[in-house]
Amino acid sequence: MRALEILAHEGAAAVYRGTIAEEVLALVSERDGVLTRGDLAAYEAAWDAPVEVGYAGTRFLTRGGLSGVPAALGRLRRLAGLGGTARTLAVLDAVDGGGPDGHTTNLATADADGNACVVTTSLGLGSGDWLPGLDLHLNSMLGETDLLVGRLEPGGRMQSMMAPSIALDRDGVVLAIGAAGGTRLRNALVGVASAILDEGVAPQDAVDRPRVHRAGTTVNAEPGADEDALAELERRGLTVRRWPGRHHYFGGVSLVGRTGAAADPRRSGAAGVVTL
């Protein structure tokens, strides 16, 4: 990929002052956009401390803001020992969100020394624009009302629902986890993390569990979701949409932890071990 070769040669300067910047500015000029050379040159990355919430005997470090993960974990009752119906309703009530599709990828990795890293990256809805000759698809988040909820202000930063997370105990990393899927990201991440940390479910089994996601007054359910829970949701006045198969819509989780690694078949995920 030409863009990665440029980054390897020029470093981050390629994006803000170098080759990639020039291609972006050329496209902006062609489309009568407002981004300027000065905007790119003045940009600086901002580093934020993670939000910490106590969960299932761990310090769960994650991202706040639009992700909603800290609040969802704070609302979530203990799941260990619950049946499928109570568990499904507890997770859904704690998460309780909705939103549009996105194109997000998550990577979780750990080494033999116990170091772990989780990286989530997103194209948002995808702009459909590629920088000529660079194989670089440009992001587009301008249509998501979840992200743009007020006036655009100079110097303001785009928010995000992405929430790469690490759970720690006194012995170190218990779980490194992240997810894709817009606001379904919260549901997928909280559901899988709680299954592993609270219920002791094996990582891939936790990822493979049928998911239920509420979007407004509609509850979307994968095959295998607890039917008694779905009936209860219908009694609450919600419409239940039963999907014919496991689907990309319900997000994609990847993780690595003490009990193993897992990746989401809903988004062609893969888990493996590399020996150096």
C-beta neighbour count of 7 within 10 angstroms: 17
Total number of residues shown for the chain = 276
- Alpha carbon distance 202, 208 (integer Å): 10
149-182 burial string, b = 16+ CB within 10 Å, else e? eeeeeeeeeeebbbbbbbbbeeeebbbbbbbbbb
- Alpha carbon distance 92, 144 (integer Å): 23
Q: Is 121 a catalytic residue?
A: no
Residue 13 CA, distance from chain mean position: 27
Q: SS3 of 51, please?
A: strand
* Bridge partners (DSSP) listed for residue 175: 167, 257
CA angle 254, 256, 212 (to 5 degrees): 40
Instruction: Kindly give the pairing relationship between strand 260-263 and strand 116-122.
Output: unpaired
Residue 245 CA, distance from chain mean position: 21
Helix, strand and coil content of the chain, in percent to the nearest 5, comes to 30, 25, 45
Between the two ends of the chain, the Cα-to-Cα distance in Å is 25
- Alpha carbon distance 75, 15 (integer Å): 41
Spot the catalytic one: 58, 104, 120, 183: 104
Active-site amino acid positions? 104
